[in-house]
Amino acid sequence: MNVPEDGYLLRIFIGESDRHAQHPLYEAIVLKARETGLAGATVVRGVMGFGKNSVIHTVKILRLSEDLPMVIEIADSLEKIEQFLPVLDEMIKDGLVTLERVRVIHYKADS
């Protein structure tokens, strides 16, 4: 798999409790990205955050939030990411999606 040096980073902000077809949304997105042939995806679980409703979601010692922020990052070419955006439109009901240009320094996968 080859990612051009001038790549793009798709960043998806959702909640841990968001679902798609009885599965966690973050899991469904990563599996769909893999199925689509994108270069790779990483999910990061946040320890604190808030969204458009300004409700704070946080990890506390005595109270564990059931809806922590989740961020999915996918790096690939602009063309491949743009082809994936309509898939996300079908899957995401509430969240934030950003796209930024990045410089890929190193990416190798065994053939």
Q: Residue 47: inside a domain, yes or no?
A: yes
pLDDT by residue, tens only, the chain of 111 residues: 666 688 999 999 999 999 999 999 999 999 999 999 999 999 999 888 887 777 777 777 555 566 789 999 999 999 999 999 999 999 999 999 999 999 988 766 665
pTM above threshold 0.75: yes
Identify whether 77 is part of a domain: yes
User: Is residue 66, in this structure, part of any structural domain at all?
Assistant: yes
Question: What type of residue sits at position 101?
Answer: R
Domain extent, residue 59, equals 6-103
In a domain, residue 111? The reply is no
**Residue 31 within a domain:** yes
Q: Roughly how many angstroms between the first and final C-alpha of the chain, as a whole number? A: 8
What does the pLDDT read at residue 109?
65
Closest to 47 in 3D by CA, of 71, 23, 26: 71
Region of residue 34 (left: phi > 0; alpha: psi -120 to 50; beta: else): alpha
The closest alpha carbon to 12, from 51, 39, 57, 60, belongs to: 51
Measured distance CA(56)–CA(63) in Å, rounded: 13
Q: Is residue 94 situated within a structural domain? A: yes
Considering the domain boundaries, does residue 109 fall inside one? no
For residue 47, what pLDDT is reported? 85
pLDDT at 65: 60
Name the domain count of the chain. 1
| CATH code, domain with 18 | 3.30.70.120
